[in-house]
Structure 1
């Protein structure tokens, strides 16, 4: 059944459009007129009180155009086959919005049915034909992967379940299987209800929805939240710690299907800087970078030794993407950091209050 847009969501979108739907952004000064206007990055932003946008940016993180959102956005998925991007509402989300990132045209605005919500993330299949979204059942937090047919106008055609409560991020692996960060937390809205009995996992599904692997961490109060893969077989997962506030366990791990989970290492006082929460993750051949908006910092780990090698302050550190063996990091302060560890990093201000995550095109 194809999900219809509620009147409330439609009214909010139309209201937001009054502020300039899909509005192009003028270059910053004369020097900026020579920069590329080719879309390379997409993320969500906060523009003001109850004003939320999706922002298409170039490969420096400088904005090209903004599209208003009916509510606060979270994760973004991109589809280069059709030049589509989809923004998912922040959990417990009520909508996802598909648009053409080259023109700014809105393709689809879908809302969750009353008994469901979105968890803020989704991903396209490798061939671009399918969109997978993390969803939950209101009242139970039962985890669901919604499957949408792109060629049929994003009609919902299937649901995968049976892997746990509270899935957050889903990514697609090179072999078309899905990796899901299952938080294991039953919530009412954003209020957790089962912290003593929560059961997080990193779960793998085949493209047909069969559970093919499932692993956990030694501490059941490490809620697995955000994921990335290294372009090959290794999944990186970032956690939110829901245990004792004075404890500072490892918040990052690596996993290859069929093997055990490997925790990344740092000193307890270094983990304390991350304030119990990892947001975005990206990896190059040698390094792994993870951000913490709650900790106002990001860290870089060696993939070979699994040890922290750099810890940098960044106010409201948000999204990260890997590009040409370096990282681009966004922030709620508007700063975009280019980190070429071990070389010195550089910073520009994008004039965008970046929120949560980035997705590379």
Structure 2
């Protein structure tokens, strides 16, 4: 259910881009009562001065200027997030929030908290992210923003899943589904059902998860959001794989792979390939699994994605080890170790060295 990304892979979308684009231009102007102190000043004012002050009160000008500056900071923060500089985005968003607080614009605050949560997640600061997300949810409830509540609940649930609080996450997604159903919003229903399916699968009830994913797909197709649709297809494929339904597993991952290639959704393309490799291995189709691994390696190299290239080497090693071809498996473990050192990932290096040691004894 990662709908980038907050939580890579399965959770999708933590911060729906469509909803942010819809809300971005919705501003509520707050006006202060004009103080007529200028009329009490001993200095005389001409007619033009008084007319200008009546039409453009100082408090209104301050509010307008603060809003313009805050909106500009939010736009800058969006660009900084796209450029993978979340620390800078946090500075921009905190400054914007201070201005939105000063003019008491709750809706704008909520949208800024959305982005702030996303920035904290990119930095791995989950505690601050949860605080920002819960603030956004509270604002949505205060303003009776039901769509905002749905997406806020999905964000909270996604963080709970990441923290391992699966039961609490499921309850949160259930609430999101209930609100989404009441407002009859297709995008909200598709997202909430897909995430509820993920939490249900994490609790081991794969058959129920499959039904939730299938229902979610009916809504995701209606809103023509292929990225969200691919994510749910991958989730569904993993559930089919878990129950040993290899025919549906291959069909589902195959469709996800084709859609991911069309939309150039590279991370979901990797996920779909991994699912297909597992399924074909399970039914003894070694040549097809090998072809898919070759595709995976080519894709990783074309993208210059070293972490995914490392994962491909790991998959190759496991593939050959399963067949008893230990010499080739050792070769791929060694290549993976080299890349782990390039990435300075000492934890991964230790794991790979342990596997290499075990395989050398065979």
Whether the TM-score (by the shorter chain) exceeds 0.5 is no
More strand by percentage: 1
**Bigger Rg, which one:** 2
More helix by percentage: 2
